[in-house]
Amino acid sequence: MGNYNRTLYALIAILVIYTVSFVAFIMYSITNFAFSDFYKRLDFRRNLASERMLNGKADEPNWSLNYLEELHNQREFIVELDERLHVVRDSGFDKSLWERVNKKGETNFKEGNTFYSTKLYQQQGKSYIVGVSAENYFYTHHLRYLQNLLLIALVLGLLFVTVVSLLVKRSFIRPITGLIDEVKKIGSENLYLRLSEDKYTGVLKKLANTFNRMLNRVETSFETQKNFISNASHELNTPLTSIIGIADLTLSKDRAVDEYKSAMQKIIDAAENLEKKTNALLLLARTGYEKGNKLNFKPVRIDQIVMDAEMSVKAINERFHIKTDFSMLPEDSMKLKVNGLGPLLQLAISNVVSNACKYSPDHTAYVALGAFENGILILVRDEGIGIPESDLSHIYDPYFRASNAQHFSGYGIGLPLARNIIKMHEGTLSVSSVLGKGTTVRIELPTFTPF
């Protein structure tokens, strides 16, 4: 904010200096022109006066006035000089200005608002100073008016610049202040909050969008770490307790070989369960947002990934059936490309499709793939048991299982894992479900845009 204020004040200062300099230059140029032009007019009238006065026609009427406009308060005078350039006689010239007159040539000078033009003339062995004086009406009236007009324009211009600068500052600072206020509301306890991108335009909208994307990464990483700690302590404790309990019970007294074998098998089963849960936790943790992950992203065809995911699901369980609808595919194959990691996207889609098959009575999942403007849409639908409405808000919690899914095998890790992977690719995963009628998973991914 301080840098913006300094920049704004610097621009105002530069504009003020430029405006003042411009006004001063205009005044200087017009004043010089007005003086030069007026002196030329005086010189011309002085030459006419010298012809009339020195040719012995001083008593004749001023015939030049018939052809030239008389200047304001115009006066003519002649001063006769001796050989030493001392005044012999004069015709009313102001003696206080005599020192400013050039006795050997031409002189142009100004006293107050009166301008003078004089020149030395030689005739019949005598020397004369002939001069003309007049008030410069343009200088005393029009130029003063122009000067006042420029000063008023300067003041109004400065006021206008100041008002506009304040308005621009307010209009620019207000959305930034609003953005800062929104950011201040976001903390570790409410990382789900996002900035309202629709309230801003231009660069601020891009900033809000970038910040929201960063919040997505931070929220996912934060949730991943939090879930990993809480779930690890809870989920790993059960098989560890089981292993320790079986071992302690087995070693509490001598037992038959079959009993030892049975105990060892239980320990192996618990250890395998522990291994699966550990691997699931580590996989979920690795799908958190990491800055380095995106460096390995590259364009991949989403239709190929969907088909590979279907093959992997069928390979896991031969009873699973998948019906795919490609009727919404665009003609341009470039619209099917996304920027990401193929194996991770395949893992996410495989988990969603596998869940759809698992919870359907006929083990059938319906998959549809299409494209919309700047994005790709994947729909995975089943006609299975559905999810109770009270459980929908918890389906993204690791190891959470719906109340009506307890008789199905699983760890409750597939959907959170898929959601993290989709968010990593700047996409969205949403679930809608009707109890007893089925569930639909909607996945949207941004289309790859080459730079």
pLDDT for the residue numbered 360: 87
Helices (H) and strands (E) in the chain, counts: 9, 12
Contact, 193 vs 185, CB < 8 A?
yes
Q: Report the SS3 class of residue 68.
A: coil
One domain for residues 361 and 272: no
Q: Which domain holds residue 409?
A: 293-446
- All residues at 6 or more sequence positions from 267 whose CB lies less than 8 Å from its CB, including other chains: 243, 246, 247
One domain for residues 108 and 246: no
One domain for residues 235 and 373: no
Residue 173 located in a structural domain: no
pLDDT for the residue numbered 291: 41
Mark which of 107, 140, 173 sits at the end of a domain: 140
This prediction has a pTM of 0.44
Whether residue 164 has pLDDT greater than 70? yes
One domain for residues 305 and 286: no
One domain for residues 136 and 272: no
Nearest to 45 by CA among 74, 72, 73: 74
One domain for residues 55 and 79: yes
Residue 181 located in a structural domain: no
What pairing do the DSSP bridges indicate for beta strands 438-446 and 87-90? Answer: unpaired
Whether residue 109 has pLDDT greater than 60? yes
Distance separating alpha carbons of residues 437 and 418, to the nearest angstrom: 23
User: Best-predicted range by mean pLDDT among 120-129, 240-249, 372-381?
Assistant: 372-381
Kindly state the tokens that stand for 26: 């205009």
More confident: 368 or 241: 368
343-360 pLDDT, tens digit per residue, is: 888 888 888 998 889 888
Mark which of 233, 262, 290 sits at the end of a domain: 290
Residue 50 located in a structural domain: yes
Cα separations in angstroms, 240 against 274, 283, 284: 7, 20, 21
Q: In which residue are the tokens 């142009």 written?
A: 108
Least confident window among 44-48, 205-209, 262-266, 272-276: 272-276
Average pLDDT over residues 319-333: 85
One domain for residues 330 and 391: yes
Average pLDDT over residues 167-189: 78
- DSSP E strands: which ranges in 318-427? 321-328, 337-340, 364-372, 375-381
Residue 92, Ramachandran bin (φ over 0: left; ψ between -120 and 50: alpha; else beta): left
* Number of domains making up the chain: 3
Distance separating alpha carbons of residues 192 and 185, to the nearest angstrom: 11
Whether residue 63 has pLDDT greater than 90? no
Kindly state the tokens that stand for 104: 């050997």
One domain for residues 268 and 217: yes
One domain for residues 299 and 355: yes
One domain for residues 242 and 102: no
Cα separations in angstroms, 413 against 90, 283, 352, 357, 438: 119, 10, 11, 16, 20
One domain for residues 15 and 131: yes
pLDDT-based confidence at residue 206 (cuts at 50, 70, 90): confident
Q: Report the SS3 class of residue 443.
A: strand
CA-based diameter of the chain, in Å? Answer: 161
Question: What percent of the chain has pLDDT above 90?
Answer: 6
